[in-house]
Structure 1
């Protein structure tokens, strides 16, 4: 038979199989199927291909060929309204799952940001000055992080030993039952990540969720996971007093995304998570807008009024990040990772069809000219070129960028990447939380992400349309209609940004 074995430069073997050209559309335009075999042993790789991947890939090709043959048949009758309604409902459901998974990651980031000072105090052996429930939750997050790191180390050791028929999950070895040998925490996550290209932080979150499912339900081949298993997993999470309803919902959203992808790609026959949901009755603590009083406290603080730069403040990031977030409505990491080349002028035609120039902020994942500095974005909708607010130019942001000594580097060179996702602003976010509290801003519902909420509120008050708000903030459209039509013109965006203001705020 054909040899589908490929050895990467790092010594790890991959399964690779070419897809016939006429079947490319059935595989999202891909020219080959490629999955890591997670082993550097040649014989083990060969055995995996013979036992699992060759037959699995042939089944996918056969199904795609059947679809191709069916498409070559004479056209069938037009779809009924009922069928169109079902397809529409399915599309809306898929969008909802993507939103839930995205929200889960955002919630986790915001919670970690809020509780970071408490976790720092616990790590230093100090008694935190915080409510007991916040201390308890911070301790849970710290313990979960240690377990995740330890579980990853155990898993790496197990892979080194290449123990057939066994896998390490969290803190114990679980014998893998019979099946196709395609597992949630490795093969499904690998396949999903290859197609969706999540950030390192996002991938780590899905891997952690998959290991959580395995630790509760036992590690089994993906096609053996039943709806009853998912229901039992849900009930187990609900029974865990340390988990909120929102946390349970988020864990189910991660699982639903992975197994939904597996079903869509014919890795498993059906999606066992379909229709398994949790009704959330408890309310999550909402993010409050920044009001004028607290904004006045923030911008009259020593960073903005005296030019002070304390340890951990990220240098000039301490001054500019809150202002950029308030006047541009962008995400924290989008701002923290800006390169000098991302602050640039764009030529456009005004209403009189005369050429004009606008200073803009380019939020993109395209690499720089040398390919050295690569930015990350949340999703495709996050990629946008937005004119700078006049107030930022007045305060000297463009002059600051032009005055940087390294014109090939980042706008905030003192921010350093940390953690699984190599985030530039995670540590800075912890400093900001401490700093705002030192200014007497103790409301826990007012965090850095609240600047996005504030921007949306004030933009709406200024009469900026919902579609323009989504374009400026990098949000996906709410319905299929948003997929039609071109993006707003630069002239429209310039006018919209110029109309945005914070009544009563003086800086």
Structure 2
């Protein structure tokens, strides 16, 4: 009776060893299934140091609580931060399982030959573990999801994949093959350990070779390389292409990528349901970017063998109809739309609807659309102007669109950014359009010069917040104006900052008439365009190799032709001085 009562009072996880050498109570705790096989994680056995069960309960409960807390930390650490899942391949499954087998055998080597070895009890426990493992894996292979061990085994697989930096998803098409292969390697490892326990000299397999650098290893090297020659926008586009490849394939080894993989990636993006790539984009910038990244990897010794882009002997194609559907429309503003802009809330100086930078920088709201109207600029060419970019050539006021500054611009340095231009043709000195002078642009520039110096930013809202991850000049204005005309004014898709550039090109074309045709190359010189638009070929004269000689078209001569551009159909705002006074009243 006493024995029965004592046995009934023994808590779970408490026991006395059967060898009879001590009467002290011990605690025994089996690690959670996901932790089994992790380095340093074994079944927990520890003496309470007392034969008094009442005292042993208090001591043992604390030992158990401490060990469970330790294992909880290991579980949290093993899960780690969220990372991109890998896409399973047959090679990756083989690699995961080979590392698992080597892991089991090396743990046994450490315990059996490099540690204290196994006594009878430890050997019996190991044999029991191997037998249970074999039974569990047989059950999973035989019964699949109906096996009572199914959930536990999948947890073990997922944890192991995280340990070896091969996070995978259970929805992966090859995940069932991973489960079968993993079950087989677990049974293989259990069998090898049992044979060792029976005295057979079962060898440990060679350590699997490392997979090599992953696709993500090129993120920082490529960013640093590309930053030397690219503006922020082009840099962001190139990095996004590489990021999309990693999302599509998973973070696989560089060496595993084949031409067929890249073909599949391009085809998937060209036929994506959301924002599909055009054939021109995929065959052009995307292919060049991929070749560049893999080429950089080869140069840095991170990839051996050929560039996989060169293995694509053909490229995925689209029909002419599909290609047209993928092109982003870019429409010119009509005179009616321009009048709508210049009479809208955007030009209500005292309006309280504008917040943040657009609420403070009234000059940007007033001048940037007008400069773009008369000069057809890319919007950032205007947003990055400083006072010293406005000067005169003789009696002609001129504006210099360029990246370099004549002096230091402290605000740009503080913001961690720099000016840029799209290409060499973009840099130009052109006469300031006479209407801008009439509206007070020269006086405005002088005010900025007096307020903040010779190299003052004309539009301070263009400066990004210091310390930003990806500082870009003029982002606040560019996004605000685009949303306003597209959504608030309901102009729709295809209208935005670029619409100013397109409308000016149309006005230049309309100005060409017999006896008044612009000299060859003058239109490109004024708008900073490297080549003519297709629809202008034959209507506007282009220069040949003579463009590389001499000083080109002077501002005074260019001004005479600029005056022929017709803006009569556009209603303009009041001069800047009067308009700005409205905000103060």
Q: TM-score, normalised by structure 2?
A: 0.49
In the alignment, the residues of structure 2 paired with residue 307 and residue 490 of structure 1 have an alpha-carbon distance, to the nearest angstrom, of: 40
Is 1:193 the counterpart of 2:206? The answer is no
Is 1:496 the counterpart of 2:496? The answer is no
Residue 322 of structure 1 aligns to a residue whose secondary structure is helix
Aligned counterparts, 1:382-461, within 5 A: 382-404=426-448, 405-407=451-453, 408-417=455-464, 420-436=469-485, 440-461=489-510
Q: Which structure 2 segments of 5+ residues have no match? A: 1-81, 85-161, 169-207, 300-304, 413-417, 513-517, 533-541, 573-585
Deviation of 1:177 (Å):
6.8
In the alignment, the residues of structure 2 paired with residue 483 and residue 224 of structure 1 have an alpha-carbon distance, to the nearest angstrom, of: 50
Residues paired across the two proteins, number: 333
In the alignment, the residues of structure 1 paired with residue 266 and residue 406 of structure 2 have an alpha-carbon distance, to the nearest angstrom, of: 44
**Contact in 2 for aligned 1:417/1:423 (Cα 8 Å):** yes
Q: Deviations over 1:174-203 (max 9, x none)?
A: x99756889783376257516x52123432
1:295 alignment partner in structure 2: 338
* Backbone CA RMSD of aligned residues: 4.0
Aligned counterparts, 1:229-378, within 5 A: 229-238=261-270, 240-246=272-278, 250=281, 253-261=284-292, 267=299, 269=306, 271-272=309-310, 275-279=314-318, 280-284=323-327, 286-304=329-347, 308=351, 310-312=354-356, 313=358, 314-345=361-392, 347=393, 356-372=394-410, 373=412, 374-378=418-422
Aligned counterparts, 1:158-169, within 5 A: none
1:156 alignment partner in structure 2: none
2:526 alignment partner in structure 1: 472
Which structure has greater strand proportion? 1
Residue 344 of structure 1 aligns to a residue whose secondary structure is strand
Choose the corresponding residue for 1:210, options 242, 250, 260: 242
Q: Which structure 1 segments of 5+ residues have no match? A: 1-149, 153-162, 170-174, 348-355
In the alignment, the residues of structure 2 paired with residue 190 and residue 288 of structure 1 have an alpha-carbon distance, to the nearest angstrom, of: 33
In the alignment, the residues of structure 2 paired with residue 176 and residue 494 of structure 1 have an alpha-carbon distance, to the nearest angstrom, of: 70
**Contact in 1 for aligned 2:242/2:290 (Cα 8 Å):** no
Q: TM-score, normalised by structure 1?
A: 0.56
In the alignment, the residues of structure 2 paired with residue 252 and residue 451 of structure 1 have an alpha-carbon distance, to the nearest angstrom, of: 29
**Contact in 2 for aligned 1:324/1:335 (Cα 8 Å):** yes
**Contact in 2 for aligned 1:299/1:305 (Cα 8 Å):** no
In the alignment, the residues of structure 2 paired with residue 366 and residue 243 of structure 1 have an alpha-carbon distance, to the nearest angstrom, of: 36
Q: Structure 1 residues 425 and 151, CA, compared in 2 at 3 Å: closer, same or farther?
A: farther
In the alignment, the residues of structure 1 paired with residue 164 and residue 545 of structure 2 have an alpha-carbon distance, to the nearest angstrom, of: 48
Residue 359 of structure 1 aligns to a residue whose secondary structure is strand
Larger CA deviation: 360-369 vs 491-500:
491-500
**Contact in 2 for aligned 1:202/1:421 (Cα 8 Å):** no
Is 1:379 the counterpart of 2:423? The answer is yes
Q: Deviations over 1:10-29 (max 9, x none)?
A: xxxxxxxxxxxxxxxxxxxx
Deviation of 1:455 (Å):
0.8
Q: Structure 1 residues 461 and 239, CA, compared in 2 at 3 Å: closer, same or farther?
A: closer
In the alignment, the residues of structure 2 paired with residue 317 and residue 369 of structure 1 have an alpha-carbon distance, to the nearest angstrom, of: 23
Higher Cα Rg, which structure? 2
Residue 497 of structure 2 aligns to a residue whose secondary structure is coil
Q: Deviations over 1:62-119 (max 9, x none)?
A: xxxxxxxxxxxxxxxxxxxxxxxxxxxxxxxxxxxxxxxxxxxxxxxxxxxxxxxxxx
Aligned counterparts, 1:63-82, within 5 A: none
Deviation of 1:493 (Å):
2.8
